[in-house]
Structure 1
């Protein structure tokens, strides 16, 4: 089993934990909660009647939130169990999204369609070992003039670790994309109480240089790059909920640093 397939099995184990977790609040979603955050809502704009490909969609709550806004959504994820759950939620909500189980690098073999928008967000690049292949998949599924939008954790945030009441530079910004990381895990970020049998999570840290150059090399034209001084989750214990930006976390007693970024590109 290669590293990507091993991670697929990991996410198959994570999915039922996430389905039950307070972190994902599936009950709230089924009651009408839109799971999209302010950054992507602003970047996407009016998506009514737009065809939209959502890469690495997990079990589809964001995909279905996009469908609630009127987009014609196709969600893709590597996890069998996540896609099964996404299809169940599609039925429960009475929406008309489509979900495909596929590795990003194999998507061209199962999907030829091109879209007005390709979208991806939050905690996705660390699972990819080949950004050139990722960018090529994006380009191959965009219509002429179509838009690509990504909102993701800023790679600079991953060089820090917290020690007592401060954060310190602990990791290299450049090395991990080359070597990758092998992390022993026995549970998910979404639930401290539920455990799985210990296994290895294979991850890759990419610099902004790597990310941007992969998109440029694919032939996409970058139209906007932005950085944000808050995180989509409590990455460090020192962080507190933002009073200004609902749903995000900030350092209140420290100088601001980039914790998220977004890129818009077009074909």
Structure 2
């Protein structure tokens, strides 16, 4: 099971429900939802990721469906609505337009259906960490496009990314407003002072698996979750 207790608790029972997982990468979380009883469909831009997801699903004997598509093009590829639309961790930074993203979410959500996202808190993207272990405000919290020129290690920990990488910063205000404009009703916005990966080198992992900044006494939000209905 690749899902965290947070998502399991906040999404709730998925037995017998249809679930669309946006930006599923190679589908481990999508297949976890299948194991929990959902009729799950995963979508990702990467051909390689979807090929691997399909291979893993077949190897495990699961009936999880995977579709290769740009998220913004999904309404032209998939003419279905779902009980649950789900997305999590490291997703919004790859999308330049929150309004268009939220419209895709709403398009594929049944009336009365649930949308759920858990992702890195945009506040954490503001900081760099000094050699002394201090958080230094460096980047804008508000909406911004970033270009990494390459030569950085891959987040997977192997090799160097040689090609330029574009990422986008989206404030919580921009995210929530986009969902509201698309006609969704926000049930809650939660913020948490831990995350599920080592964002900064001084982070310490707790017994619950979460990474925290002990020297800052949990002063900064590191992930957020939103649950909304249509």
Give the TM-score normalised by the residue count of structure 2.
Answer: 0.96
Residue 109, structure 1, aligned to residue 72, structure 2? no
Q: Deviations over 1:105-144 (max 9, x none)?
A: 1000010110000000001000000111100000000111
Q: Which residues of 2 match residues 1-267 of structure 1 at below 5 A?
A: 34-164=1-131, 165-176=133-144, 180-186=145-151, 187-191=153-157, 193-196=158-161, 198-243=162-207, 245-246=208-209, 248-256=210-218, 257-267=220-230
Tell me which residue corresponds to 1:19. none
Measured on the aligned residues, the alpha-carbon RMSD in Å equals: 1.0
For residue 253 of structure 1, give the secondary structure of its aligned residue in structure 2.
Answer: helix
Q: CA deviation at 1:175?
A: 4.7
Off by >4 Å, runs of 4+ in structure 1: none
Change (3 A) 1:148 1:175: closer
Q: Is the 8 A contact 2:20 2:82 kept in 1?
A: yes
For residue 215 of structure 2, give the secondary structure of its aligned residue in structure 1.
Answer: coil
Give the TM-score normalised by the residue count of structure 1.
Answer: 0.83
Which sits farther off after the overlay, 39-48 or 114-123? 39-48
* Cα distance in structure 2, aligned partners of 1:214 and 1:175: 13
For residue 145 of structure 1, give the secondary structure of its aligned residue in structure 2.
Answer: strand
Identify the structure with the greater helix proportion: 1
Structure 1: gaps (5+ residues): 1-33
* Cα distance in structure 2, aligned partners of 1:175 and 1:223: 24
* Total equivalences in the alignment: 227
